[in-house]
């Protein structure tokens, strides 16, 4: 019996190691042979920062992710990504790959999820499985390995929110927790609503007024910096540049604007992309017929539902359990998801519903009680299925499959 138990334990470890190697190999392929995006908007802005400018150079302007205002061109995302790149761009120029932001976000998220999982008393192996899940079986993977500026910025906010959650769970000082939220806010301003989690914890008397006030200090400072940054560019502390986006009328996503950039009319399409849309058949002959070719499926440019990229979240429906932080995480998820679901752009050219990155850390916090006290075989299988789906189909919106063909 002892020998059988030892073999079972060893087999589980071998499966984990094999999946880790598969993830690393696949990541390498997507960063090399499978790379679809060649943006360097954040690196270009970073170079301008080193020169004391906030506008992009008029030479080699990007065709998207920028705003035009009084003959100047600006990046409408938060400045943190470009700030972090400044030391590297200073020495290597704006050809320094901005995709290092996405890769770093994946790495930091992996480590942070591991320690969050350990805080919930998962063992070492289960914590590693959950780290693999969060990085490789969610939209974080595609956002991290595809060099499109919007993807990289959205990926960057995730590890800071995870770090804020970790700092709170481990009872680090409140200023550090607030600092991580502040840094996330400087990637996408809507991430400041992550503070709702801590406000609900305050209402539940798990946090003192003094602690919450200290938490607010770095966030308020970040908002002041962003306000000054906006005023410098657009003469308004509230204008981020989205209203001057040069690609808002691009087809097909621009067609949604006729119903308003923020409207309840946009909710059904966002929910459809997030919860319902399935992969499409990969046809052998596009001129007619219905014969499939390997690997048989592709992801629609409008995205694919959460259950395909992250099937582990199915346990929220089939095995839901309440935990210590369930209420706070649920309220925060709803608050962060609301502006996303109201927004006109559901994220065309995406693998999965990438705007879910805004609330993904809190959705993960909601899931944890359903996984305790240890991962079941079903949970591990769902993690593996999600990983395989993401690593096979991340380039499929371009009908490219790096794992099967390195040259196309």
Q: Tell me, what's the pLDDT at 172? A: 84
Copy the structure tokens of residue 7.
Answer: 């073999």
Copy the structure tokens of residue 138.
Answer: 């969610």
Asked whether the predicted pLDDT for residue 398 surpasses 80, the reply is: yes
Asked whether the predicted pLDDT for residue 104 surpasses 50, the reply is: yes
SS3 293: strand
User: To the nearest whole number, what is the mean pLDDT of the chain?
Assistant: 91
Closest CA to 173 of 135, 224, 136, 210: 210
What's the average model confidence in pLDDT over 386-391? 96
Total residues belonging to the chain:
408
- One-character DSSP codes across 21-74: HHHHHHHHHHHTTT------HHHHHHHHHHTT--SPPSTT--SSS-EEETTEEE
Q: Which residue's structure tokens are 């849309």? A: 277
Closest CA to 391 of 372, 379, 404: 404
Asked whether the predicted pLDDT for residue 215 surpasses 60, the reply is: yes
Long-range contacts from 180-185, C-beta under 8 angstroms, 24+ separation = 181/215, 181/218, 181/219, 182/218, 182/219, 182/221, 182/222, 183/80, 183/222, 184/157, 184/160, 185/78, 185/219, 185/222, 185/223, 185/226
Closest CA to 15 of 370, 381, 372: 381
Q: Between these two residues, 97 and 36, which has the higher pLDDT value?
A: 97
**Secondary structure of the chain: what % helix, strand, coil (to 5)?**
65, 5, 30
Q: Are the C-beta atoms of residues 281 and 296 closer than 8 Å to each other?
A: yes
Band (pLDDT 50/70/90 cuts) for residue 249 is: low
Instruction: Give the predicted TM-score (pTM) of the model.
Output: 0.94
Q: How confident is the model over 131-171, as pLDDT tens digits?
A: 999 999 999 999 999 999 999 999 999 999 999 999 999 98
Mention every residue, 6+ apart, whose C-beta is less than 8 A from residue 48.
54, 55, 56, 57
Q: How confident is the model over 123-135, as pLDDT tens digits?
A: 999 999 999 999 9
d(CA 135, CA 148): 18
What's the average model confidence in pLDDT over 15-20? 95
Q: Tell me, what's the pLDDT at 348? A: 76
Asked whether the predicted pLDDT for residue 6 surpasses 60, the reply is: no
Q: How confident is the model over 74-92, as pLDDT tens digits?
A: 999 999 999 999 999 999 9
Among 113-127, 130-144, 170-184, 347-361, name the one with the lowest average pLDDT: 347-361
Q: Tell me, what's the pLDDT at 9? A: 62
The angle subtended at Cα 358 by Cα 354 and Cα 363, nearest 5°, is: 95
Q: Between these two residues, 269 and 33, which has the higher pLDDT value?
A: 269
Q: How confident is the model over 293-328, as pLDDT tens digits?
A: 999 999 988 889 999 999 999 999 999 999 999 999
- Upstream peptide bond of 373 is cis (omega within 30 degrees of 0): yes
Band (pLDDT 50/70/90 cuts) for residue 105 is: very high
Q: Tell me, what's the pLDDT at 349? A: 79
d(CA 397, CA 175): 42
Q: Tell me, what's the pLDDT at 90? A: 93
SS3 382: helix
Q: Tell me, what's the pLDDT at 408? A: 44
d(CA 83, CA 221): 16
Q: Are the C-beta atoms of residues 75 and 82 closer than 8 Å to each other?
A: yes
For the chain, give the percent of residues with pLDDT over 90. Answer: 74
Q: Tell me, what's the pLDDT at 407? A: 45
* Maximum mean pLDDT: which of 4-8, 30-34, 365-369: 365-369
HSE (side-chain half, CA atoms, 13 Å) at 277: 22
Closest CA to 21 of 132, 139, 144: 132
Q: How far is CA 148 from the centre of its chain?
A: 13
Q: Between these two residues, 285 and 359, which has the higher pLDDT value?
A: 359
d(CA 387, CA 15): 13
Copy the structure tokens of residue 130.
Answer: 């959950």
Q: Tell me, what's the pLDDT at 3? A: 54
């Amino acid at each position: 019996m002892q020998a059988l138990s030892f073999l079972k334990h060893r087999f589980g470890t071998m499966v984990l190691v094999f999946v880790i190697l598969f993830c690393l190999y696949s990541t390498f392929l997507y960063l090399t042979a499978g790379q679809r995006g060649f943006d360097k908007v954040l690196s270009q802005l970073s170079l301008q920062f080193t020169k004391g400018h906030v506008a992009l150079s008029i030479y080699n302007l990007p065709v998207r992710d920028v705003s035009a205002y009084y003959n100047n061109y600006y990046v409408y995302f938060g400045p943190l990504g470009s700030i972090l790149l400044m030391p590297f761009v200073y020495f290597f120029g704006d050809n320094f790959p901005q995709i290092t932001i996405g890769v770093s976000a994946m790495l930091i998220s992996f480590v942070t999820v591991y320690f969050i999982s350990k805080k919930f008393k998962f063992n070492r192996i289960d914590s590693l499985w959950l780290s693999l899940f969060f990085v490789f079986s969610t939209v974080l993977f595609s956002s991290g390995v595809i060099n499109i500026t919007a993807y990289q910025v959205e990926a960057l906010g995730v590890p800071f929110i995870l770090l804020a959650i970790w700092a709170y769970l481990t009872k680090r000082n409140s200023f550090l927790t607030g600092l991580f939220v502040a840094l996330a806010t400087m990637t996408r301003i809507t991430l400041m609503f992550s503070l709702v989690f801590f406000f609900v914890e305050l209402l539940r008397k798990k946090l003192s007024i003094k602690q919450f006030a200290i938490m607010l200090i770095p966030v308020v400072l970040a908002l002041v910096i962003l306000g000054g940054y906006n005023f410098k560019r657009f003469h308004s502390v509230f204008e981020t540049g989205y209203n001057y986006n040069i690609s808002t009328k691009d087809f097909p996503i621009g067609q949604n604007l006729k119903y308003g950039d923020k409207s309840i009319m946009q909710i059904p399409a966002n929910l459809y992309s997030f919860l319902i849309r399935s992969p499409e058949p990969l046809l052998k002959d596009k001129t007619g017929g219905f014969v499939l070719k390997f690997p048989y499926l592709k992801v629609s440019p409008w995205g694919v539902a959460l259950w395909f990229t992250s099937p582990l979240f199915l346990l929220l429906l089939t095995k839901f359990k309440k935990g210590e932080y369930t209420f706070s995480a649920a309220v925060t998820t709803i608050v962060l998801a609301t502006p996303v679901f109201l927004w006109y752009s559901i994220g065309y050219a995406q693998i999965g519903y990438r705007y879910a990155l805004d609330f993904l850390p809190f959705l993960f916090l909601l899931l944890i009680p359903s996984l305790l006290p240890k991962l079941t075989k079903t949970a591990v299988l769902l993690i593996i299925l999600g990983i395989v789906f993401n690593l096979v189909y991340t380039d499929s919106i371009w009908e490219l499959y790096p794992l099967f063909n390195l040259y196309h």
